Amino acid sequence: LPIDFKITGGDVHDSQVAKQLIDTVGEATYLIADKGYDAEHIRICAQNKDMIPIIPMRSNSKRSNKEFDKYLYQLRHLVENAFARLKHFRAIATRFDKLARNYQSMIYIACMLIWCKAK
């Protein structure tokens, strides 16, 4: 179930708001993310919050990845399922809204409906 989200510009990578989202989560044991979030500052931020980062290294990385757990990484599909549920809402999937505040409002409504349906 979605907890929080941040809207970024079309020219900004999602990993730029990773620190804000990690701070929002509060307590967690693991941070599971894909290769796009393979950055040292994201790993350090997660470790400062007592989370173990489960992020695969990029193919051109020269560092080792001792804490990577392949089984836990497979659970990332649950996050992808949440995105799939959000995209069932046409206004979110197509982003007809020009203003970020309107788009953000639609995502809040969709998240609320997803939570109500789950409960």
How many Cβ atoms from other residues are within 10 Å of residue 76's Cβ?
15
15 contact partners, CB below 8 Å, separation of at least 6: 36, 37, 39, 42
- Note the pTM of the prediction, 2 decimals: 0.76
Rounded to whole angstroms, how far apart are CA atoms 41 and 23? 13
Summarize pLDDT for 55-106 with one digit per residue, the tens. 888 878 777 777 788 888 888 888 889 889 999 999 889 888 888 899 999 9
Helix/strand/coil for 65: coil
pLDDT in tens, 8-30: 887 888 788 889 888 888 788 99
Q: Are 115 and 1 in contact (CB under 8 A)?
A: yes
Say how far apart CA 107 and CA 91 lie, in whole Å. Answer: 9
